[in-house]
Amino acid sequence: MASFTIRGRDPRSRRQVIVGLLSLAVHPKGFSQALRWSIGQQVTPPPLTLFDGTLVDWGALRGKVIVLEFWAAWCPFCARQNPILDRFYRDHQSRGLDVITVSLDKTKEAALAYMRKGGYAFKAAMANEAWTAIYQQRKGLPQLFVIDRTGKLVMIEIRELMEEDIREITRFL
Q: Domain holding 102: CATH number?
A: 3.40.30.10
Q: What is the pLDDT of residues 125-140, one digit of tens each?
A: 999 999 999 999 998 9
List the one residue out of 71, 94, 86, 7 whose CA is nearest residue 44: 7
HSE-CB at 133 with a 13 A cutoff on CA atoms is 17
CA distance 173 to 165: 15
Same domain, 23 and 103: no
Q: What mean pLDDT, rounded, does the chain reach?
A: 87
Same domain, 57 and 118: yes
Q: What is the pLDDT of residues 1-30, one digit of tens each?
A: 444 444 445 444 455 444 444 444 444 444
Same domain, 149 and 74: yes
Same domain, 27 and 62: no
Phi, psi of 122 (to 5 degrees): -70, 160
Structure confidence at residue 35 (pLDDT): 55
Same domain, 8 and 90: no
Same domain, 24 and 72: no
Structure confidence at residue 36 (pLDDT): 84
Strand order in the sheet with 153-158: 123-126, 97-103, 65-71, 143-147, 153-158
Same domain, 149 and 131: yes
What range defines the domain where residue 17 resides?
1-35
Neighbours of 115 (CB within 10 A): 20
List the one residue out of 134, 135, 140 whose CA is nearest residue 158: 140
CA distance 112 to 118: 10
CA distance 167 to 64: 17
Same domain, 28 and 111: no
Same domain, 45 and 20: no
Same domain, 5 and 83: no
Same domain, 25 and 79: no
The number of domains in the chain is: 2
Helices (H), the chain: 11-23, 31-34, 76-92, 108-118, 129-136, 163-167
On whether the CB atoms of residues 111 and 120 are closer than 8 A, the answer is no
Same domain, 30 and 45: no
Structure confidence at residue 3 (pLDDT): 41
CA distance 110 to 103: 9
List the one residue out of 24, 18, 22 whose CA is nearest residue 5: 18
Residues of the chain with pLDDT below 70 are 1-35
CA distance 110 to 170: 31
